[in-house]
Structure 1
């Protein structure tokens, strides 16, 4: 069965790059621009992996993770952040987090990491 990934980033270029790379790898990729849009999708369907930007408008990455945990939705998550060290500190309490990637990130490293999680 095809693994499903939800990619959440407010920057269209990053969303499209990640979507393109993982669709070429054979994954079913859905995108969201905001934390609110991400939560709506996460409540409606299930995903095998969440790739989430830490800083999002309105509902940020931290709040998305809080809501998932509060609603007992456990999905492995990779967080991307321009402030990776700060993000790591803020996100320590979440068991969902598999890795924090600093932006700009190496797409090949992200690809390898995702394969390890999903295979």
Structure 2
């Protein structure tokens, strides 16, 4: 289970033959980043729902490739990370604070706007 992407739906076979859910998991275990030059356009995946292996040619990726060919689980979706959840929570908190501040009536103004007095004007 991936600690970095909370809704990971596939494992990816990296060039060293090991399976990881994301590049951060690869970096944690291997200690270096994967060399993308070693990868071809055809990638092997394991669906985490049905545990079946399948291959995709990423040069010919279309709408039908967004699902597992075995169980039709959607595998292409926006990722959810811990940082994203924290950002959403912070945004909700700030929106609540701002709406509470706007709901409070502004304090009574003591300095009224005075009309301009030009030389030669009379009251």
Structure with larger RCO (C-alpha < 8 A, sep 6+): 1
TM-score normalised by length of structure 1: 0.26
TM-score normalised by length of structure 2: 0.25
Q: Which protein shows a greater Rg? A: 2
Q: Which structure shows the bigger proportion of residues in strand conformation?
A: 1
Q: Which structure shows the bigger proportion of residues in helix conformation?
A: 1
